[in-house]
Structure 1
């Protein structure tokens, strides 16, 4: 029998989000991984080369929160910061 799936924090963003997971920068992603080590998986969903400010105004990406919500339906709460 398989063990229950561990909870996840999914951080979605651009290269700044990626850098936030680096030990040298000790950003929000890195901090969450340290704080919840062994309890919660912190997932890094990053789009390189994308300006999230510009990207968020493009029509085809307006449903991004919905897409992530569908991908993780029943498993996570999608929170939009920014």
Structure 2
């Protein structure tokens, strides 16, 4: 994850031996000319599966298969945007 990723083990669900449902959140902030134009959190529900790639390349043997469902914006309030500092 990057510095704007919000990882929470409470949003990880093991579906079967080889399948997990993981919701990863990213905080997206955009500033244009000193004005904040976007400040929102996106949720990315992911399908994680076991992968047979050699452990030297992927020590956990896991891979993102696809989105579990469409990503969605949360915690977005355009009325609370303030000039960037």
On whether the aligned pair clears a TM of 0.5, the verdict is no
Task: Please state which structure has a larger fraction of its residues in strand.
Answer: 2
Whose relative contact order is higher, 1 or 2, with alpha carbons under 8 Å and at least 6 apart?
A: 1
TM-score (norm 2): 0.24
Could you say which structure has the larger radius of gyration? 2
TM-score (norm 1): 0.24
